[in-house]
Amino acid sequence: MELVGFVHKYEWGKVGKDSAVAQLATLNDPAFNVDEKTPYAELWMGSHPSGPSKYKSSGINLQDELPFLLKVLSINKALSIQVHPNKSEAEKLHSKLPNIYKDPNHKPEMAIALTPFTGLCGFRPLPEIRDILQNIEPLKALAVEDPNDLKLLAANDESGLRNCYRKLMNAEKNAIGECIDAISKDYTKELYKHNIHEIFNTLKSDFPNDVGVLSLFFLNVVRLQPGQAMFLGANQIHAYLSGDCVECMACSDNVIRAGLTPKYKDIKQLLSSLEYTGAPAECKIFTPVRVDAHRLIFKPPVEDFSLIQLTLKPSDLEYVLKVEQSPGILLVISGERYLESYGLDKLKLKRGSIVYLPFESDTELRFLPAGEGEHEFLAYISTPNAASSCKSNV
Cis preceding linkage at 327, omega within 30: yes
Q: How far is it, in rounded angstroms, from Cα 39 to Cα 8?
A: 9
pTM for the model stands at: 0.94
d(CA 226, CA 286): 13
Q: Which position among 124, 130, 257, 295 bears the catalytic label?
A: 257
Predicted local confidence at residue 343, as pLDDT: 63
Any bridge partners for residue 366, and if so which? 320, 340
Angle at which helix 197-206 crosses helix 173-186, to 10 degrees, equals 140
Q: Can you give the pLDDT at residue 386?
A: 58
Residue 373 phi, psi (nearest 5): -65, 160
Low-confidence ranges of the chain (pLDDT < 50): 387-394
Task: Clarify whether 257 is annotated catalytic.
Answer: yes
Residues near 255 by beta carbon (within 8 Å), at least 6 away in sequence: 80, 82, 84, 107
The DSSP line for 337-366 is: EEEE-TTPPPEEE-TT-EEEE-PPTTEEEE
Quick check: 142 and 176 in contact, CB under 8 A?
yes
Q: Following CA atoms 104, 249, 55, 1 in sequence, which dihedral angle do they give, to the nearest 10 degrees? A: -130
Q: What is the per-residue DSSP string for 102-154?
A: -SS----EEEEESSSEEEEEEEPPHHHHHHHHHH-HHHHHHH-SSTHHHHHHH
Measured torsion, CA atoms of residues 63, 66, 70, 76, in degrees rounded to the nearest 10: 80
Confidence at residue 361, expressed as pLDDT on a 0 to 100 scale: 62
Q: Which domains does the chain have, with CATH numbers?
A: 125-217 (no CATH), 289-392 (2.60.120.10)
What is the per-residue pLDDT for 90? Answer: 92
Taken as a whole, the chain contains a residue count of 394
Which uninterrupted H or E stretch holds 230?
strand 229-232
Exposure string over 366-394, b if 16+ CB within 10 A, otherwise e: bbebbeeeeeebbbbbbbbbeebebebee
Helical H segments across 265-336, by residue range: 267-273
Q: Give the pLDDT confidence score for residue 394 in this predicted structure.
A: 36
- pLDDT for res 372: 67
Which of 183, 241, 264 lies closest to 217, judged by CA? 183
